[in-house]
A and B are shown apart, each in its own frame.
Chain A
Amino acid sequence: MTADTTADTSAEVQAEVQAEVQAEEPAETLGRRLSRLAHALNRPSRLTLMSYALCAPLLALLGVCFVLPLLFMMHTALHNPVIGGAWPEFIEALREDHDEVPGEPVFRALVQGFQQQQEDEAYKLTLKPFSQQNPELWRLLQHSADTLPPEHFASAKAWFIGSDPAWAEADTWKVIRRVAAPYTTHNLVNALDVTLNPDGNLRLKPEERRGYSLVIRDTLIMGFWVTLFALLLGYPLAYRLVTMRRTPARIVLSGFLVLLWTSVLVKAYGWMAVFDRHGIINETLMGIGFIEEPLALRPSWALLIVAMTYALLPFMILPIYQSMRRVSLDQLRAAVSLGAPPARAVLTAYLPATTPGIAAGCLLVFILSIGYYTLPAMAAGAAETTISMLLVEFAITIANDGMAATMASFVLVIAAILFWFYMRTFAPIRGEITRRTSQRVSAR
């Protein structure tokens, strides 16, 4: 027994050594990292167990306060709450029947539903999802409910089809099935300003009826500009910081941290003081007689982008600064000594070595900007709408949880996609690029 285990272990060790030797060749793959993790988990020393135990509260907190709410939010976005609870018999019957036009039991259940609805006012709500999603179907249902004869009949199906031939159409039932499903893409479809045909194809709503998709588009455009400006401002600034002496660089950096710690409200209020109707800009311009009437600088899209850029600038500068610190000045010198004119040296030797920092900064700023609420609400509130403002509108004013959750999910999904892209593109090379190639690392 013992001998066997030893043999196993040595085989394992051999395999591991082999894996290590092979891993020299390709870049370290996710698979290899996982297998190494698995290996570490298989040999739980007291130390690793201890460290996991120490992490447990954090993991629990993450699960309860972060993962669960996100899952719940995405559930809310897709959940179809009303009809399932209201007409349980009908839903049940519909689920058991797989024909294009269902049989008698489904029609009977529908009759039951109508009768209950007539008896109980609360059931009026049942038809709400129909009215939202498909007005034609809603009219059909209303009509049938209103003309429903009080007496029992031999075949409910025959009566329904007799009252309106639409009941015999497969399309009608496709729509009903979709509305009655426990989960619905209705919120999603609605947010993107598309409509679902009965056959499930997506069609863009006519231009005049689009709204939410424009908000999403505008928010993404705003995120793009904010990211771009933050990059254009932040990159040279970070470079200046890196080339500065240590002490002044620390002072400037702590200045950025203070900017980061300052409440968003305070910052927003500061911007209002500058851009308001009687703010510094207008007062100054009027004071020197440049304008007669105060300019309407707020609320405006431009102000929003300016304010957001400054609010998020530290998130751009810090990762870039970090990545720049790892690039030694020698690399720039090397490029020049190898024949690159200074500008070309920066473009070919310096900039590419800082791309991981640039990517991280852009990722942070973009994701934060599309989810920002306070500044957009204060700087552009009346003029423009962003996803986050729409979210607050749905969650608080209209109390449409489904749409609020959908909007929140959009931000989450965009962030996730960008993060995935970042990890896929930069994670494999980040280690290679940001590791100092000089021996200073080992010397330390």
Chain B
Amino acid sequence: MGEPESQPDGSECLLRFVDVSKDFGEDGSALRGMNLDIHAGEFLTLLGPSGGGKSTALMMLAGFDTPTSGDILYKGQSIADIPAHRRNFGVVFQSRALFPHLTALQNVAYPLRMRGIARSDANKRAREALNRVRLSPLVDKRPARLAAGEQQRVALARAMVFEPDVIVMDEPMAAMDMDLAIRMEEEIRQLHIDLGNTVVYATQDHTEAIAMSDRIAIMNAGAVQQSGTPEALYEEPQNAYTARFMGETNMLQGTVTSLDAPTCSVTLDTGEEVTATAINISGAGARTRLSVRPERLLINPDGLPPPNRYKARVAGMEFRGDHTLVHLHLASGTRLEAKVQNSQAEGDLGSNDEVEVGWHARHCRALDPPP
């Protein structure tokens, strides 16, 4: 794993958010200097909590809203002055926004008809698009007669049928039940692979983002916290927010005692000495948050040198199918969680056992200070 993705050069960059800010006044989420590059043909996901600015960014990209300051570039040109209907971007809404008075076929043919394509041609292409999302038997039904997943597939077909340059999807799977969402994830991913168009996707669900995306941009407080491949974001978060949002992690607070790049020594507030990979550390004396993923905690490790090695008591075990979550209490009171793969567990761990727990310094990342 090298550096998280560096700034790509302008030639392969299709869309670029440059210091985009949006001020809604008193209400609503705002963007505060959002910077992001989106490459041609990639599946990019904006991942973040509601109110983090994802939707605002997407709505501006689609042309329903304009930035208060900053600019959005498409192929190097500002699109601020291009109205939404001439951007040729497909949009899939969380609400699906199908036209209730039109049948599935008419819905999908709509963008083609708006482009002046004759009815018979438009219908033919719409039929093909619906076929691609496996809805052929339902073409003549109105949206209200379709199930949630079918509606979303119509919306997908409608946003793709006119071969848009970019497809924008604003939380299309929110409020779907999990089974359906997982199936839709696969379908959307497959469509993206088959058609090769650029997709800008928004979601609050990190597993969804990880499963689907080529690249993820973590958004919070109106700005991109970090962007990169799912793997990079998960394994090499650059800040505590990303570390937390991408999945479960042990977050420990402490003070840096010495910095010796790429590692540093940290004294936890509870007293333990830890060696960690320095990420956001300015120097000795800085406050920091350490992040270690639970699956990186080793129980009774062999050959792991101190200091990342501590005596602990097993406070509880949660069976979770493929793995078991082990709650550990250090003598100082620090609480840690470790994931033990059940296929590799030796089955000799029990509650109240005295164990040793540790981790490699490369898996423990010293991030930005606590607020």
A435 touches B63 (CB 8 A): no
| Bound complex: CA A384 to CA B352 (Å) | 98
Contact status of A437 and B110, CB under 8 A, knowing A338-B158, A338-B162: no
Stretch in contact with the other chain, from A102-110, A212-220, A341-349, A411-419: A341-349
List residues of chain B with CB within 8 A of the CB of A436: 95
B99 touches A355 (CB 8 A): no
List residues of chain B with CB within 8 A of the CB of A442: 148, 175
Residue of A nearest to B145 (CB): A432
List residues of chain B with CB within 8 A of the CB of A443: 175
A437 touches B95 (CB 8 A): yes
Binary contact track B151-177/A, C-beta < 8 Å → 1, others 0: 100000011001000001000001110
Most A CB contacts (10 A, CB to CB) among B88, B91, B99 go to B99
| Nearest-Cβ distance from residue B145 to partner chain A, whole angstroms | 7
- Residue of A333, A348, A433 touching B97 (CB-CB under 8 A): A333
Contact status of A438 and B110, CB under 8 A, knowing A338-B158, A432-B145: no
| Bound complex: CA A39 to CA B110 (Å) | 42
- Chain B, range 75-116, C-beta contacts under 8 Å to A: 83-91, 93-102, 110-111, 114-115
Residue of A nearest to B115 (CB): A339
Contact status of A432 and B175, CB under 8 A, knowing A333-B64, A334-B91, A338-B162: no
List residues of chain B with CB within 8 A of the CB of A327: 100
Residue A335 lies at the interface, judged by CB distance under 8 Å to chain B: yes
Residue A69 lies at the interface, judged by CB distance under 8 Å to chain B: no
Residue of B nearest to A330 (CB): B97
A340 touches B114 (CB 8 A): yes
| Bound complex: CA A438 to CA B92 (Å) | 12
B175 touches A339 (CB 8 A): no
Interface residue tally of chain A, by bracket? Answer: 35 or more
B64 touches A336 (CB 8 A): yes
- Residue of B84, B95, B96, B148 touching A337 (CB-CB under 8 A): B84
- Residue of A336, A342, A349, A434 touching B99 (CB-CB under 8 A): A349
List residues of chain A with CB within 8 A of the CB of B38: none
How many A-B residue pairs lie within 8 Å, measured between CB atoms? Answer: 119
Residue B243 lies at the interface, judged by CB distance under 8 Å to chain A: no
Given contacts A331-B99, A337-B91, 10 further A-B contacts (CB under 8 A): A327-B100, A334-B99, A337-B85, A338-B91, A339-B85, A340-B110, A341-B85, A349-B99, A437-B95, A439-B94
Most B CB contacts (10 A, CB to CB) among A334, A340, A431 go to A334
List residues of chain B with CB within 8 A of the CB of A355: 101
List residues of chain A with CB within 8 A of the CB of B64: 333, 336-337
Residue A222 lies at the interface, judged by CB distance under 8 Å to chain B: no
Binary contact track B233-245/A, C-beta < 8 Å → 1, others 0: 0000000000000
Residue B62 lies at the interface, judged by CB distance under 8 Å to chain A: yes
Residue A379 lies at the interface, judged by CB distance under 8 Å to chain B: no
| Bound complex: CA A342 to CA B114 (Å) | 12
| Nearest-Cβ distance from residue B57 to partner chain A, whole angstroms | 15
Residue B327 lies at the interface, judged by CB distance under 8 Å to chain A: no
A432 touches B97 (CB 8 A): no
A432 touches B100 (CB 8 A): yes
Q: List 9 A-B contacts (CB under 8 A).
A: A334-B93, A334-B158, A338-B111, A339-B111, A429-B101, A433-B144, A437-B96, A437-B151, A439-B96
| Bound complex: CA A438 to CA B94 (Å) | 8
Contact status of A438 and B96, CB under 8 A, knowing A337-B90, A443-B175: yes
- Chain A, range 322-369, C-beta contacts under 8 Å to B: 327-328, 330-331, 333-342, 344-345, 348-349, 352-353, 355
| Bound complex: CA A289 to CA B100 (Å) | 56
Contact status of A438 and B100, CB under 8 A, knowing A342-B85, A344-B114, A443-B175: no
Residue of B nearest to A349 (CB): B99
- Residue of A328, A337, A342 touching B62 (CB-CB under 8 A): A337
B99 touches A438 (CB 8 A): no
- Residue of B84, B86, B95, B168 touching A439 (CB-CB under 8 A): B95
Residue A152 lies at the interface, judged by CB distance under 8 Å to chain B: no
- Residue of B101, B114, B162 touching A353 (CB-CB under 8 A): B101
Residue A98 lies at the interface, judged by CB distance under 8 Å to chain B: no
A433 touches B84 (CB 8 A): no
List residues of chain B with CB within 8 A of the CB of A435: 100, 144
Most B CB contacts (10 A, CB to CB) among A27, A437, A439, A443 go to A437
A339 touches B162 (CB 8 A): yes
| Nearest-Cβ distance from residue B254 to partner chain A, whole angstroms | 42
A437 touches B143 (CB 8 A): yes
List residues of chain B with CB within 8 A of the CB of A27: 145
Residue A440 lies at the interface, judged by CB distance under 8 Å to chain B: yes
Residue B360 lies at the interface, judged by CB distance under 8 Å to chain A: no
**Which 6 residue pairs spanning A and B have beta carbons closest together?**
A438-B95, A330-B97, A338-B111, A339-B114, A334-B97, A432-B144
